[in-house]
Amino acid sequence: MLFNSVDFALFFPMVFLLFWLVANRGIFLRNTFLLGASYLFYGWWDWRFLMLILLSSIIDYLVGLKLGNVSTSGKRKLLVAISVASNLGLLAFFKYYNFFADSFVEAFSFFGRDIQVSTLNIILPVGISFYTFQTMSYTLDIYRKKLKPVKDPVAFLAFVSFFPQLVAGPIERASNLLPQFLEIRHFDEAKASAGFKQIVWGLFMKTAIADRLGLYVAAVYGNVDHHNGMTFVVATFFFAIQIYCDFAGYSLIAIGCAKTLGFDLMDNFNRPYFASSFKDFWSRWHISLSTWFRDYVYIPLGGSRKSNGRTYANLFTTFVISGLWHGANWTFIIWGALHGFFQTVEKALQNAHWLRLPKAMSMIIVFALTCFAWIFFRAGSVHEAFQIIQLIFLHPGQGLYTGDLGIFSFALLAVIFLLVSEWMAEFRPDWTLLYHRSYAVRVFSTSFLILYMAGLGVFDNSQFIYFQF
């Protein structure tokens, strides 16, 4: 069920009304209702996927309970190993089996040996990369004694499957979200209003900006042999805005939906293209994932506590793993490796006290290199990515492909609209129209966004990009 679908437009208002009807009739009844609504939401794609999320949830619930009663170091390590192995095992099988099988065959072919490895016709369960990380962090935090296990199975199952953030995040920590399922809820009009505004702006980012840009990007990246370097520069710039609005828009809708139900989810994006360093960029981009990798990969590897060389290796390794998390394709691994390289070089220059650039220049460099890395993220293969890079640097051409002039014009309008809005939010938050002190301005702004979406939004065949991860 997509946030920008008619199904969800019918589903969410009913859930909202029924939730507040049962909210004051006991925590168990409320959580049971949320669990049922979340499983209905998730099972809308394919009911068979429910077996996987239920299995993952039950394993981690039982492991968490056992960890709370065991003090022996060896037994605790065994229990957390069961949790990690089961979650990563499910993820590896459904998401990476064919990738590793094909890579294995290609590696032997490179040395002149032909082998046969069977691949499987596996459908990737939606959101498996997100909910496995969320439930796995629960047992890891109990193992580290940063969290106590919850005894209420319904509350835990509802935490794992909470529908607003189930399939594409934010990846919530149990320490933040799980206690909210154990609290009594009272309707807060101001909170619901703030959530509604986030839903409207998120839908606008998705339908009127991301999907509008996506029409042009798909036309260019889908026909690599028919476009010049200049066109790919524009298409890559458009894709940078598209993927930001697509994912940040989804996150805002998720956060807004949760807020109308009285739940607080963590912010997932903070205007990342205003970052003046790659460290700053990753503190603004997909915050729930970047902090997850920081806490559960980078720091356990040693973080920055060792030598400079070890720190650089830890950084690079973390980002390569992050790239692999994004997709079972070498393009994503290279994308992660590039960001690892950028971070490593940046940290080395800072340690050597060589990095002293004006902030505006730093922002331009970070954005340009981020766009360069996006080429690998968007391209269909590594070969296509290098083909595009070659076109950009060696064959820029003299004309710019515009295709359907209406599509290109509205895409450009969407970019301008976003840049103005982002600039105001970053530097003049008092100018932000949706949160203006004047009630009339707020009503006009909200109405304008809804009408703009209705007239220029793209709704046909519209999937969220991060659903594939």
C-beta separation of 70 from 79 below 8 A: yes
Q: Which two tokens stand for residue 123?
A: 């459908």
In a 10 Å sphere around its CB, with 0-12 CB exposed, 13-18 middle and 19+ buried, how is residue 241 labelled? Answer: buried
The CA distances from residue 452 to 205, 288, 445, in Å, are 11, 30, 10
Q: Nearest to residue 213, comparing CAs of 456, 466, 469, 468?
A: 456
Q: Which two tokens stand for residue 407?
A: 């599509």
What sign does the dihedral 167-169-172-178 (CA atoms) show?
negative
What sign does the dihedral 109-113-114-116 (CA atoms) show?
negative
In a 10 Å sphere around its CB, with 0-12 CB exposed, 13-18 middle and 19+ buried, how is residue 416 labelled? Answer: exposed
> How many whole angstroms separate alpha carbon 279 and alpha carbon 342?
9
The CA distances from residue 194 to 266, 413, 414, in Å, are 15, 26, 24
Q: Nearest to residue 193, comparing CAs of 4, 432, 446?
A: 446
Q: Which residue has the tokens 């949790």?
A: 83
Q: Which residues contact 343 (CB under 8 A, 6 or more apart)?
A: 278, 279, 282, 315, 316, 319
Q: Which two tokens stand for residue 306?
A: 């060792």
Q: Which residues contact 90 (CB under 8 A, 6 or more apart)?
A: 52, 55, 56, 128, 132
What secondary structure does DSSP assign to 182-247, as a single string?
A: GS-----HHHHHHHHHHHHHHHHIIIIIIHHHHHHHHHHHT-GGG--HHHHHHHHHHHHHHHHHHH
> How many whole angstroms separate alpha carbon 240 and alpha carbon 225?
21
C-beta separation of 289 from 195 below 8 A: no
> How many whole angstroms separate alpha carbon 206 and alpha carbon 76?
44
Q: What are the backbone dihedrals phi and psi of residue 305, each rounded to the nearest 5 degrees, phi first?
A: -85, -15
Residues annotated as catalytic (active site), given as ranges: 326
> How many whole angstroms separate alpha carbon 163 and alpha carbon 387?
40
